[in-house]
Structure 1
Amino acid sequence: MFGLHYRLERHAIGLVVAVIVVASIGGLVEIAPLFTINETVESTADMRVYTPLEVAGRNIYMREGCYACHSQMIRTLQDEVDRYGPYSLAVESQYDHPQLWGSKRTGPDLARLGGKYSDQWHTAHLINPRDVVPESKMPGYAFLARTPLRLDDLPLHLKALRAVGVPYSDDMIAHAAEDAYGQALPDDARAAGVTERYGEATSVRLFDGDARTVTEMDALVAYLQILGRLTDAAHADNLAEAE
């Protein structure tokens, strides 16, 4: 093998041809499956988009590097299904840009985290993780509860997501800032517009327990509470029921 390589190095044209052949094989392995993606990725009728508040929370999740210690992909291994719930389906990530699947688990997988704990638990955990999980190695994020959420750029975030295929309407984009405000402050007049645009099942509540303002804590907790709940496809008895 090394002898062949040494001989190729002495002949530039031969080496170029060999590189092209090897690169083509690798490219074929990567590209060929994309031609059958419509046959391998599930479809579901109940998939919904992230609300503006959840989009903001996801951006904070990425900004703080949470994906470095938490995956969002449950594999088909039985021990993972027993611990975390139904294995992840591709359709559940169709509106995730970028996907946050990962494989590093300093902390547990979060793919099915939504609804597992209360908002109060998440807020306490983010402020000081050891208050609720004594053995936790996670750093605290108390500053999120003190940091007002930036709302003015949310229409731009939704517009960018629409450009890559997320079906946000013009109405959703135009009202992004007020919908984020209304989702976190249920007594505000703007709360009604959230359920009107995103459905009655959308959670509208005080995520961080503070009715004075909308904070980054509101956004991050709202995002954590929707993980695994954008669609019920993974909980269907079989994939045929999810299509």
Structure 2
Amino acid sequence: MPEFHRKIERSAIGFVLAIVLVSSIGGFVEIAPLFTIDDTVENAPDMRVYTPLEQAGRDIYMREGCYACHSQMIRTLRDEVERYGPYSLAVESKYDHPMLWGSKRTGPDLARIGGKYSDAWQVAHLINPRTVVPESIMPKFGWLRDNPLRIDDLGEHLTALRDVGVPYTDDMIANATQDALGQTAPDGDFAAGVVERYGQATQVRAFDGNPATVTEMDALVAYLQILGHLTGAAQAEAAVQPEVAQ
């Protein structure tokens, strides 16, 4: 074997071919599974897209770097499932661009945070995390409640997402601004339209407690409150396969 190594290392062409061979093996192992992607992503007929307000909240979530401390991937381990809920399925992130799976957790995983706490709790937590979690090291985001959300370009955001495969309809895109207004004002003129386009389960309320304006706090809380509820696939999977890894 040492003699073989010496011969390869002394031959430039042989050494290059050896590197190409080894690299090809690694590349094949990484690329080949992609050809079966349609078989590995679960089927979820009830899966819905984010509303314009929720998508705007997701953009704010990324803008503020929340993903750097909070993962959105519950692994198939008993302690994770018992703490956070059913383990994450690929289909739950099929419309996420970019995907926010990961394992870095300075704070808790947020894959199933939707509905766990009230809107008032979420707002208080964002304004000053220490008021509800005394040991928290999370920074304050209270100024989001003072920042009006830009809604005039939401249709353009949805158009860009449609270009990469998210099935937004022409009607959704054309009414994106009105739907953002409608989702935060249940008694307003546009509330019925957002429910019609995104389903009866759509959460329509003043997320930050003030229906008079649409703020960045509205958007971020709306996004947090929908996490884990775009589809019931994970809950259905957990009912069929309740056992997870020890």
TM interval, short-chain normalised: over 0.9
The Cα shift of 1:153 comes to 1.6
Q: Verify: 1:46 aligned to 2:43, yes or no.
A: no
Across the aligned residues of Structure 1 and Structure 2, the Cα RMSD in angstroms comes to 1.6
Q: What aligned pairs does 1:184-223 form with structure 2 within 5 A after superposition? A: 184-223=184-223
How far the C-alpha of 1:160 sits from its partner, in A, is: 1.0
Paired residue for 2:78? 78
Please give the per-residue CA displacement for 1:138-195, whole angstroms capped at 9, x wherever unaligned: 0000110010101122111111111111110000011111111111122220111100
Report the equivalent of 1:108. Answer: 108
Which residue is equivalent to 2:177?
177
Match of 2:240 in 1: 238
Task: List aligned pairs for 1:1-243, cutoff 5 A.
Answer: 8-236=8-236, 237-238=239-240
Measure the CA separation in 1 of the matches of 2:105 and 2:39: 31
Question: Given the superposition, is the C-alpha separation of residues 3 and 226 from structure 1 closer, same or farther in structure 2, using an over 3 Å criterion?
Answer: farther
Separation (CA, whole Å) in 2 of partners of 1:5 and 1:103: 39
What are the superposed Cα offsets for residues 192-226 of structure 1, whole Å, 9 maximum, x if unpaired? 11001111110010000012210000000000000
Q: Name stretches of at least 5 consecutive residues in structure 2 with no aligned partner.
A: 242-246
Find the aligned partners of 1:172 and 1:5 in 2 and give their Cα distance.
63
Opposite residue 60 of structure 1, the aligned amino acid is: I
Cα offset, 1:38, TM superposition: 2.0
SS at match of 2:98: coil
What do the CA deviations read for 1:94-144 (whole angstroms, capped 9, x no partner)? 111111011111100000000000000000000000000000000000110
- In the alignment, the residues of structure 2 paired with residue 174 and residue 38 of structure 1 have an alpha-carbon distance, to the nearest angstrom, of 31
Distance 1:149 1:205 in 2: 16
Distance 1:32 1:139, change over 3 A: same
Task: Provide the C-alpha distance between the structure 1 equivalents of 2:5 and 2:181, rounded to a whole number of angstroms.
Answer: 63
- Number of aligned residue pairs: give it: 239
Alpha-carbon distance in 2 for matches of 1:170, 1:223: 22
Instruction: In structure 1, give the amino acid aligned to 2:229.
Output: R
Q: How far apart are 1:7 and its partner, in Å?
A: 5.1
Q: What's the secondary structure of 2:229's corresponding residue?
A: coil
Residue range with higher mean Cα deviation, 156-165 or 56-65: 156-165
TM-score normalized by the length of structure 1: 0.94
Structure 1 stretches of 4+ moved >3 Å: 1-10
Q: Percent identity?
A: 72
| TM-score normalised by L of structure 2 | 0.93
More divergent stretch after superposition (137-146 vs 39-48): 39-48
Give distance in 2, aligned partners of 1:3 and 1:84. 56
Distance in 1, matches of 2:125 and 2:149, equals 19
CA distance in 1, matches of 2:146, 2:171: 30
For the residues of structure 2 that align with 1:86 and 1:143, how far apart are their CA atoms?
33
The Cα of 1:4 is off from its aligned counterpart by 6.1
- 1-structure distance, mates of 2:207, 2:6: 64
- TM-superposed deviation, 1:77: 0.5
The unaligned stretches of length 5 or more in structure 1 are none
